[in-house]
Amino acid sequence: MPLTHGLKQRHLSMIALGGVIGAGLFVGSGSAIAAAGPSIVVAYAISGLLVMLVMRMLGEMSAANPASGSFSVHAERAIGPWAGFTAGWAFWFLLCVAVGLEAIGAAKIVTGWLPGVPEWSMVALFMLVFCVTNLAAVKNFGEFEFWFAALKIGAIALFLVIGLLAILGLLPGTDSPGMTNLTGQGGFLPNGSEGLIVGLLASVFAYGGLETVTIAAAESEHPVQGVAKAVRTAMWRIAVFYIGSMAVIVTLIPWNSKSLANGSYVATLEHLGLPAAGEIMNVVVLIALLSAMNANIYGASRMACSLVARGQGPKGLGRISGGVPRVAVLTSSVFGFLCVLLSYWRPDDIFMWLLNMIGAIILVVWFFIAVSQLVLRRRLEQEAPERLAVRMWAYPYLTWAALAGIAAVFLLMAREEGTRTQLYYTGGLVIFLAVLGYAHQRMTAGTATAAAAAGVPAAAPAAAEPKAAEPKAKAAEPKADEPTPAATPGAGNGGTEAAAKPAKADD
């Protein structure tokens, strides 16, 4: 049974707006501010610009070729099967570990309210709830995520309004801080360039997960339009929610305030003396973490299903029941359930241990996205320009600029002792996956060659992704497709709505 087109445009738009806002922003920003001081705004702006470029590149490729494997499919088409294998399984691992991180973060909030409840029991409860949620129809995931994301967006918007009023001195009972917190307490760069670098690396992790929206788009009613709209939405979300929030926080509260360790949003509201605002924000943070858990289980299961469909994983993992890859959902949740045991044995160390495991994986994914876009854009312009419904700005110059930015972040991670461990973990994982993927590619090619030499038809590779079951009235809509050559728009599963008729370029 195929995957279903169960996500509506409103689901996709809300997932793009707030689906993956989680621990990186709400929990991790406090330590980032402590390291960078007021210059955290610059750090978020720099990394935000980088992720805007990456999302635009990904949007271009995904609109031309919607697939539940997203950038993994694009990497396979542009570079080779080994690249799709490496990028896909690395991202799958990232999301699986992130599920555990979100569950632990959420459990810490609840046990703060209920001191007698063991942390591991809450991790187990959250994992059970969201594993079951993702075993249901995709429309249930979409509806669940729609309301969760709406609450997060509403809370951040309200926070920004309250913060702006306080900065202007218009909030009753508060005085405008002016520039005191930005220029005092050691200045705008209190810890020098070293602090800015640490803040920059932390902000990169906060942006991780935006790619999930292009995975979800393949199961939407209108994949091409959905991708284009989601990418545009991500742009202003970065500017307003992430950078705007950091600007409000460091303007209102001293960067070296110890209360930031408990969460920057909560600390800011408590600093303003708003009754119960801190506790209300804690509820929002809890919901944000649970929402991100939900989105990460979804993204991991679809990526695994896509890899299996292309012959790059165990066949049993791609089994679909009721339009949902239930085996992939269960497998993608295993690491989260493992965190239940880790929370029981090492509750104080587990969060940083998990963070070190996945710290640089997102940069590897961004690298594959940029290289893939360089190749596929040139191919599309020559062979199927009508499929460019979304276009990368100033190609190829900004693509090369993004690659340079990614390389610079890698170098900064290698330079900083605190992030070098993350680089070692990620480097080891990526090398292992690349070697495994290349060996699989050679073995598959060798099998096909031997079969051809013997005059026996080789078994067709499982290249096609699971096609999404589409409403009859929407038969012309693009499908979640496999890595077919971009030279044949509309052929096989590679066709899109844009291939059937010229698409208006979204410049």
pLDDT of 499 reads: 39
pLDDT of 197 reads: 87
Is 473 among the domain residues?
no
Within 298-355, strands assigned E span none
Average model confidence (pLDDT) across the chain: 82
Is 463 among the domain residues?
no
83 near 76, Cβ under 8 Å? Answer: yes
pLDDT per position as a tens digit, 355-388: 777 778 999 999 999 999 999 999 999 999 999 9
**Which of helix, strand or coil describes residue 177?**
coil
Beta pairing, strands 3-4 & 468-469: parallel
pLDDT at 405 over 90: yes
Q: Read out DSSP for 221-284?
A: SSHHHHHHHHHHHHHHHIIIIIIHHHHHHHHHS-TT-GGGGG-HHHHHHHHTT-TTHHHHHHHH
pLDDT per position as a tens digit, 59-118: 999 989 888 788 999 999 999 999 999 999 999 999 998 888 888 889 988 998 999 899
The arithmetic mean of pLDDT across residues 115-139, rounded, is 88
Comparing CA positions, the residue from 133, 147, 67 lying closest to residue 99 is 133
pLDDT of 488 reads: 36
Instruction: Express as a percent the part of the chain with pLDDT over 70.
Output: 84
User: How many beta carbons lie within 10 A of that of residue 220, not counting itself?
Assistant: 29
pLDDT of 351 reads: 67
The arithmetic mean of pLDDT across residues 199-212, rounded, is 82
pLDDT per position as a tens digit, 181-192: 999 888 899 998
Structurally, how many domains does the chain consist of?
1
pLDDT per position as a tens digit, 304-328: 999 999 999 998 888 888 778 899 9
Interatomic CA distance for residues 353 and 335, integer angstroms? 14
| 404 compared with 225, residue with greater pLDDT | 404
pLDDT at 275 over 80: no
Is 485 among the domain residues?
no
Structure tokens at 303: 């990526």
pLDDT of 503 reads: 45
User: Of the ranges 143-147, 293-297, 463-467, which is most confident?
Assistant: 293-297
Is 220 among the domain residues?
yes
Interatomic CA distance for residues 227 and 63, integer angstroms? 6
Reported as type and span, the H/E element at residue 468 is: strand 468-469
CA 367 remoteness from chain centre = 14
pLDDT at 16 over 60: yes
Interatomic CA distance for residues 369 and 376, integer angstroms? 10
214 near 62, Cβ under 8 Å? Answer: yes
Interatomic CA distance for residues 66 and 74, integer angstroms? 10
pLDDT-based confidence at residue 303 (cuts at 50, 70, 90) = very high
pLDDT of 3 reads: 62
pLDDT of 14 reads: 73
| 239 compared with 363, residue with greater pLDDT | 363
pLDDT per position as a tens digit, 440-488: 999 888 665 655 666 555 444 444 454 444 444 443 444 444 444 433 3
Is 486 among the domain residues?
no
The enclosing domain of 273 has a CATH number of: 1.20.1740.10
Is 301 among the domain residues?
yes
pLDDT of 505 reads: 45
User: Of the ranges 127-136, 216-225, 497-506, which is most confident?
Assistant: 127-136
The arithmetic mean of pLDDT across residues 128-132, rounded, is 90
Is 474 among the domain residues?
no
pLDDT of 43 reads: 93
Is 465 among the domain residues?
no
The arithmetic mean of pLDDT across residues 200-216, rounded, is 81
Containing structural domain, residue 357: 3-445
pLDDT at 202 over 90: no
pLDDT of 161 reads: 94
The arithmetic mean of pLDDT across residues 219-241, rounded, is 76
pLDDT of 455 reads: 58
The crossing angle, in degrees rounded to 10, of helices 40-64 and 71-78 is: 70
Comparing CA positions, the residue from 32, 128, 107 lying closest to residue 350 is 107
Comparing CA positions, the residue from 268, 270, 269, 323 lying closest to residue 301 is 323
